[in-house]
Amino acid sequence: MTSPLSVIILAAGKGTRMQSAKPKVLQTLAGKSLLGHVLDTCHQLTVDETIIVHGFGGDQVKSEITNQYTQAPITWVAQTEQLGTGHAVKVTLSDLPKSGQSLILYGDVPLVSCETLTALKTANTDGMSMLTLTVDNPFGLGRIKRDQAGNIEAIVEQKDADAEEQSIREINSGIYCVDNALLHKYLPELSNDNAQQEYYLTDIVKMAVADGITIAAIEPEHTFEIEGVNNRQQLASLERTWQRKLVADLQEAGVQFADPTRVDIRGTLTAGQDVFIDVNVVFEGDCTLGDNVYIEAGCVIKNAKIGNACYIKPYCVIDRADIGAGVDIGPFAHLRPDTVLSDNSKVGNFVEIKKSTIGQGSKVNHLSYVGDATVGTGVNIGAGVITCNYDGANKSQTIIEDNAFIGSNASLVAPVTIGDTATVAAGSVITKDVNSSALAFGRARQVQKNDFQRPTKK
């Protein structure tokens, strides 16, 4: 029988060194809050209860996280005084089951992996396991002191370590898996009789050793899994580290980057083979690229699905669009939410499309706005065409049926339907439906005055 699992996330710190009115755990890394990263990892586990200890900016933290994370209920516990990590866990005891075990995590240590936490949980066979790491420079960090048999016997802080202990390179990450029964036993016994007058969570290690408990230790696959964020420099450094990891994973899947250091992935990017991504491209949210997609410099792509063999020219913004195969886009195109581009369609330079479907093989090549429209197959929309979809109060639909031709600088005043194989003359203002195969024009008659004399300056 699997032991019930709780997760305790310590997220009460103010983060003074961030120099921000925003709570530290809401600072963003790769487009997501630090606390959000931890929660996403926890939701990959089978967790029976998630407890978040909040403090500074607690209402703001609760509001943002509650709105964004609905996968599982969260128990919120306030730490009104910042009296140390031991005190932060202690305030959860009234909400913590007496049985089962708990992972103790930190809202500002965002990149610990599901695999590492699963291994930590599995390693807890005698009541307690902890995540440690062997580093080249352990200065300032708590050392893992072991006995002659190799068992953990204490955590020694830098200021308390003698010369021999300071030479130890195995350090404490602060991440634990502990039986709830031990937390209920040890946390009330913690003392703040120390220089900082704080309750240290690390003291439960020596309590467990005194009770004859063998504490298991595992190391994460990546050093960045235990890196915390206390200031802007550390946040920027961890951002770059995580971006390198995301890019490396995509390279292994067959993606070519013009410069792996000049791309940002702020969410989830899934890509097929032989994809090329030029410099300064930004992906946000959940993005999917098919095979043989080519994306040129400076594009911003958000929550989009892009089919096979698409070519996206420089400086396009694509937001919540569904793009078929073989589509050409840009440069400087703007695809707004709920845009659908069918196979082999084309959207050219300085074109904006919003909440519209462009049919197979249709073209919107230059300087146009298409909004709230359904465009059939084989349609050609000339330069400067506007669908006038808003009357000041309501949005209305424009329908352009198969093989229609819309001349340059035409204005289609919705609601309006252009029939199949119809032609709209350049410069027309169309306010009524156009029949199939008809020619429609609505513009002032051209007047010509011969031998016209231009005015001269007085």
Phi, psi of 408 (to 5 degrees): -60, 145
Domain membership flag for residue 166: yes
Domain membership flag for residue 239: no
* pLDDT band, very low/low/confident/very high, at 287 (cuts 50, 70, 90): very high
Residues 317 and 340 reside in one and the same domain: no
For residues 35 and 335, give the distance between their C-alpha atoms in angstroms, rounded to a whole number.
Answer: 31
Element (H, E) at 52: strand 49-54
Query: Six-digit token pair at 270?
Result: 């899934």
For residues 404 and 374, give the distance between their C-alpha atoms in angstroms, rounded to a whole number.
Answer: 12
* pLDDT score recorded for residue 386: 98
* pLDDT band, very low/low/confident/very high, at 118 (cuts 50, 70, 90): very high
pLDDT at 1 over 80: no
DSSP state of 120: H
Domain membership flag for residue 182: yes
* pLDDT score recorded for residue 140: 85
pLDDT at 458 over 90: no
**Does the CA dihedral 106-107-109-110 come out positive or negative?**
positive
* pLDDT score recorded for residue 412: 98
* pLDDT score recorded for residue 8: 98
For residues 131 and 115, give the distance between their C-alpha atoms in angstroms, rounded to a whole number.
Answer: 12
Residues 345 and 258 reside in one and the same domain: no
Which residue segment(s) compose the domain that 177 sits in? 5-226
pLDDT at 14 over 90: no
pLDDT at 437 over 60: yes
pTM above 0.85, yes or no: yes
Residues 410 and 426 reside in one and the same domain: yes
Of 43, 184, 222, 366, catalytic: 366
Question: What are residue 395's DSSP bridge partners?
Answer: 390
The residue from 226, 243, 275 where one domain ends is: 226
Residues 23 and 36 reside in one and the same domain: yes
pLDDT at 17 over 90: yes
Residues 329 and 348 reside in one and the same domain: no
Domain membership flag for residue 260: yes
* pLDDT score recorded for residue 70: 80
Residues 51 and 159 reside in one and the same domain: yes
pLDDT tens digits, one per residue of 207-245 = 999 999 999 999 999 999 999 999 999 999 999 999 999
Domain membership flag for residue 240: no
How many folded domains does the chain comprise? 3
Residues 199 and 266 reside in one and the same domain: no
Residues 69 and 119 reside in one and the same domain: yes
Q: What is the mean pLDDT of residues 61-86?
A: 91
pLDDT at 311 over 80: yes
Residues 325 and 197 reside in one and the same domain: no
Residues 264 and 398 reside in one and the same domain: no
Helices (H) and strands (E) in the chain, counts: 8, 39
Residues 158 and 13 reside in one and the same domain: yes
Q: What is the mean pLDDT of residues 393-401?
A: 97
* R_g of the chain computed on alpha carbons: 31
For residues 306 and 316, give the distance between their C-alpha atoms in angstroms, rounded to a whole number.
Answer: 13
Q: What is the mean pLDDT of residues 327-341?
A: 99
For residues 333 and 295, give the distance between their C-alpha atoms in angstroms, rounded to a whole number.
Answer: 13
Domain membership flag for residue 13: yes
* pLDDT score recorded for residue 291: 98
Q: What is the mean pLDDT of residues 116-129?
A: 96
**Does the CA dihedral 21-24-28-32 come out positive or negative?**
negative
pLDDT tens digits, one per residue of 355-385 = 999 999 999 999 999 999 999 999 999 999 9
pLDDT tens digits, one per residue of 163-196 = 999 999 999 999 999 999 999 999 999 998 877 7
Give the 3-state DSSP-derived string for 264-330, with helices as H, strands as E and coil as C. EEEEEEEECCCEEECCCEEEEEEEEECCCCEECCCCEEECCEECCCCEECCCCEEECEEECCCCEEC
For residues 331 and 88, give the distance between their C-alpha atoms in angstroms, rounded to a whole number.
Answer: 53
pLDDT tens digits, one per residue of 440-457 = 999 888 899 999 999 999
Q: Single out the residue of 95, 2, 88, 108 nearest to residue 51, CA to CA.
A: 95
Q: Taking all residues of the chain, what is their mean pLDDT, rounded to a whole number? A: 95
Q: Residues 6 or more apart from 308 whose CB is under 8 A from it?
A: 272, 290, 291, 292, 293, 325, 326
The residue from 334, 358, 383 where one domain ends is: 334
| Angle at CA of residue 154, ends 149 and 156, nearest 5° | 125
Phi, psi of 234 (to 5 degrees): -65, -35
The residue from 310, 334, 358 where one domain ends is: 334
CB-CB contact of 172 with 202 (8 Å): yes
Active site annotation includes 366? yes
* pLDDT band, very low/low/confident/very high, at 160 (cuts 50, 70, 90): confident
Domain membership flag for residue 247: no
* pLDDT score recorded for residue 72: 79
Domain membership flag for residue 248: no
For residues 212 and 201, give the distance between their C-alpha atoms in angstroms, rounded to a whole number.
Answer: 18
* pLDDT band, very low/low/confident/very high, at 198 (cuts 50, 70, 90): confident
Q: Higher model confidence: residue 430 or residue 162?
A: 430
pLDDT tens digits, one per residue of 31-47 = 999 999 999 999 999 89
Residues 64 and 199 reside in one and the same domain: yes
CATH of the domain at 422: 2.160.10.10
CATH of the domain at 109: 3.90.550.10
